[in-house]
Amino acid sequence: MNDSDVIEVAKLPCAVEEVVNILIQLSGLAIVYWLFTVIGKWLIGTDFSTDILLSMVVLPAILVLKQSSEILQPYFVKVSLEDDKLSVTQGILTTFEDSLTLNNVENIETETTLIGKYLNYATIRIYAFGSWVVIPNVKNSHKLKEKLENIIKDKAGESGT
């Protein structure tokens, strides 16, 4: 890697993963609706009305569908590492840029999904004093984490001498 590196983000697998996640959540709501309809008709009989039950499922369904912008999110992430400064820019309509100098990092953690384990990507969270940066869906995350830890160790060695 060079002094100024652009870090690659997994795009298509993350988008597919989010579509599957939304479909699973909507299927869960449909199953709950069906199950409560069956129980209601069993307990109350033909007088059971599904109107209130339907209204109780619509709001969670809207909240699940609101997450659909997460499908495109991986296509709008740019991550770069320049010397000891990490920058993450992301967003579709509103763009957020978050930067962190690596000389005061306390902790680095990774979060890997099931698909991420097989396709070798993960989300990395870097915590420093009073700040943090999230790098979503980084390809070869173990290599990036190792590189960041080496930069941090080198900076700690420089400040100790």
Percentage of the chain lying above the pLDDT 70 cut? 95
138 residue type, one letter: V
Statement to judge: residues 65 and 82 lie in one domain:
no
CATH number of the domain encompassing residue 132: 2.30.29
- Of 22, 42, 71, the residue that ends a domain is 71
* Per-residue pLDDT tens over the stretch 86-137: 999 998 888 999 999 888 889 999 999 999 999 999 999 999 988 899 999 9
- 92 and 106, same domain (yes or no): yes
- Domain around 150: 4-10+76-160
Same domain, 91 and 146: yes
Residues 24 and 46 in one domain: yes
Same domain for 84 and 120, yes or no, is: yes
Based on the domain organization, do 25 and 100 belong to the same domain?
no
Q: Which single residue is written with the structure tokens 């109780």? A: 56
